[in-house]
């Protein structure tokens, strides 16, 4: 069991890869409304994340404003020394927030490059 837990990060990496693949398939042949995309992703990810974070803060009575700020805005995984502060599993949501923010940019850029290469 200890071997599984100590290597859980590998499964998370595969989950992110699979999620990206599924998003590419889902959005490949669609006209994407940028505002709706961001609203839908935000509504899907952020409320439960904030609920879990608030629950953690109430239980632990943590009052480190810097940690709270980075966790609320989803930057804890991108600031050295903060990835596993407060709600430890929240680091993966921080990565997902980053991916969500840049997905359309990466997707459009890569799609245009691939289309040019295939012509």
Question: Does residue 86 lie in a domain region?
Answer: yes
* Res 83 pLDDT > 80: no
Query: For residue 64, which of 47, 48, 87, 45 has the smallest C-alpha distance?
Result: 87
Residue 29 token pair: 């042949």
Q: Decide: pTM greater than 0.85.
A: no
Question: Does residue 95 lie in a domain region?
Answer: yes
Question: Does residue 19 lie in a domain region?
Answer: no
Question: Does residue 49 lie in a domain region?
Answer: yes
Total domains present in the chain: 1
Question: Does residue 11 lie in a domain region?
Answer: no
pLDDT in tens, 38-70: 999 999 999 999 999 999 999 988 878 888 999
Domain extent, residue 64, equals 33-118
Question: Does residue 17 lie in a domain region?
Answer: no
């Amino acid at each position: 069991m200890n071997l599984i837990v100590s290597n859980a990060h590998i499964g998370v990496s595969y989950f992110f890869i699979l999620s990206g693949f599924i998003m590419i398939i889902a959005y490949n042949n669609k006209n994407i409304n940028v505002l709706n995309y961001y609203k839908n992703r935000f509504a899907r990810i952020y409320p439960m994340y904030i609920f879990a974070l608030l629950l953690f803060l109430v239980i632990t009575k943590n009052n480190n404003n810097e940690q709270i700020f980075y966790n609320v805005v989803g930057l804890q995984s991108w600031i050295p020394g903060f990835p596993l502060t407060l709600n430890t599993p929240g680091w993966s949501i921080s990565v997902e927030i980053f991916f969500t923010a840049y997905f359309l940019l990466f997707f459009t850029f890569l799609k245009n490059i691939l289309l040019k290469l295939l012509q």
